[in-house]
Amino acid sequence: MKNNNAAAADDADARLLRAHARGDPHAFGDLLERYRARILHLVRCRVGAGSIWVEDLAQDVFVQVHRKAGTFQGRSSAKTWLYAVAINVCRDHRRQERRAPQTAPAALGAVEPLAELPDSSLDPLELLEQRERDRLVRDAFETLSAAHRTVLYMRDHEDMSYEQMADALAVPLGTIRSRLHNARAALADALGQRVRGLRP
């Protein structure tokens, strides 16, 4: 069922990309709605949640999607294609940063860094515990390298296959396998350090 849902979502995304390329005035808004949060999260993984560039780069991704929708040929899933666009935008940004640091964008519209959605079914103590646990995980997550954050996000949040990840990141399948393993090991280590730090 999950695979069927994913396939249906991919079909819908591909239709939206093609519709936008044909000039459908509503398709881009729908793509934005479906991918806004995911692209923002992916960009955060690439440049770090605290980066002032997150929103600007996420905007750049959608501008690129708008420009290049006509080049989508369906050889990969629409989601993989969209993420590859995002990865390339972030890579270009990093190259530019290395050559000449860019001027920081205006603070207008900065994304809330750690907003949370409270689970109303939890009692206050449970809620507190959950928030503390989430904070620990996010803090540990942020200590990882961009490459490790990216594969963890793609696999564990976005449920992408290794093959899709390899396509989006333009690296061999074996690299995905080892990178994901190392990412989980690094996160386990970072979490362990924080948990040990909590002990009296």
Is the CB of residue 62 less than 8 Å from the CB of residue 32?
yes
Task: Kindly state the smallest distance separating residue 75's Cβ from another protein, in Å.
Answer: 21
- Provide the binding-site residues for another protein, judged by CB under 8 A: 28-29, 32-33, 36-37, 40-41, 44, 49, 55, 58-59, 62-63, 66-67, 109, 111-117, 133-134, 137-138, 141, 152-153, 155-157, 161-162, 177-178, 180-181, 184-185, 187-188, 191
Nearer to another protein, 15 or 162 (CB): 162
- Please, what is the minimum distance in Å from the beta carbon of residue 10 to another protein? 19
Closest CB to another protein among 40 and 99?
Answer: 40
Nearer to another protein, 98 or 127 (CB): 127
Taking the complex as a whole, how short is the minimal distance between the CB of residue 137 and another protein, in angstroms? Answer: 4
Q: Cβ closer to another protein: 47 or 58?
A: 58
Largest CA distance in the chain: 62
Burial 136-173 (b: 16+ CB within 10 A, else e): beeebbeebeebbbbbbbbbeebebebebbbbbbeeee
Centre a 10 Å sphere on the Cβ of residue 90 and count the other Cβ atoms it contains: 23
Of 153, 123, 159, nearest to 138 by C-alpha is 153
- State the minimum distance, in angstroms, from the CB of residue 49 to another protein: 7
Total residues found in the chain within this entry: 200
